[in-house]
Amino acid sequence: QQKAEAASKLDELDETRTELGKKKKEVQAKLSEAQKLLNSLTAAQRASLEAAENRANRSNERVDLGNDLPASSLAAAALSAAKTKLGSPYVYGATGPSSFDCSGLTSWAYAQAGAGIPRTSQSQANAGTRLSMSQLMPGDLVIFYGDLHHVGLYAGNGQVLHAPRTGTVVRYESINNMPFQFGVRI
């Protein structure tokens, strides 16, 4: 029986390894495509893009988060932990404490608050109660894009605290800058 269970686990691990390999190839292809696009930009376009990125990072110094109360003390603690990481660099696959990807930041923040949540944005999308945009409260997870590949923490007043992408840092951004799917209350 133990041998059968071990064989079953090995099969599951092989399937997971295969799936992760496929995902890695997809990510590498997207990264390669993005790099080609970036390389095709003129110097003026690059300067404009860099200026816009700098404005986005500077704007975090004066973000109005409003007066909304967090959904719970757990959500408040997670959001508070994430705020301490403002300015930390985005690194794909990073889970802190000095660099993060999107779901690395949210899972790290909730771990600091004493709650374990899944590691990936797709898994985090199913980790709690789903919410519409009007139901969001500070500390709720916010899921973006149709394939659920991005997550952040709702910070209040239409702002999300998140780790956006390579070349950026943990920062606040308008919830309307990305295609909102739903919120999740842990």
Q: What is the pLDDT, as a whole number, of residue 56?
A: 63
CA distance 6 to 94: 30
CA atoms within 13 A on the CB side of 155: 24
Q: Evaluate whether residue 106 is within a structural domain.
A: yes
Residues serving a catalytic function are 102, 150, 162
Q: How far apart are CA 9 and CA 15, in angstroms?
A: 10
d(CA 172, CA 61): 9
Q: Could you report the per-residue pLDDT of 160-185, keeping only the tens digit for each?
A: 999 999 888 999 999 999 999 999 99
Report the CATH number that the domain containing residue 137 is assigned in CATH: 3.90.1720.10
Residue 26 belongs to some domain of the structure: no
User: In this predicted structure, what is the pLDDT of residue 62?
Assistant: 65
Give the pLDDT confidence score for residue 43 in this predicted structure. Answer: 83
pLDDT of residue 60: 57
146: containing domain: 65-185
Q: How do residues 24-78 score in pLDDT, each as one tens digit?
A: 999 899 888 888 888 888 888 888 877 777 666 555 556 778 888 898 999 999 9
Angle at 135 between CA 132 and CA 139, to 5 degrees: 105
Mean pLDDT calculated for residue range 99-116: 96
The span from the CA of 37 to the CA of 181, in Å, is: 27
Give me the half-sphere count of Cα atoms (radius 13 Å) on the Cβ side of residue 65: 20
Tell me, what's the pLDDT at 124? Answer: 97
How many domains are contained in the chain?
1
Classify residue 30: in a domain, yes or no.
no
pLDDT, average across residues 94-105: 95
- Flag whether 110 is in a domain: yes
Asked if residue 21 is part of any domain, the answer here is: no
Helix (H, G, I), strand (E, B) or coil at 137: coil
What angle, 0 to 180 degrees and rounded to 10, lies between the N-to-C axes of helices 73-83 and 102-112?
A: 120
Tell me the pLDDT tens digit for each residue of 109-150. Answer: 999 999 999 999 999 999 999 999 999 999 999 999 999 999
In a domain, 1, yes or no: no
CB burial of 140-155 (b: ≥16 within 10 Å; e: otherwise) equals bbbbbeeebbbbbbbb
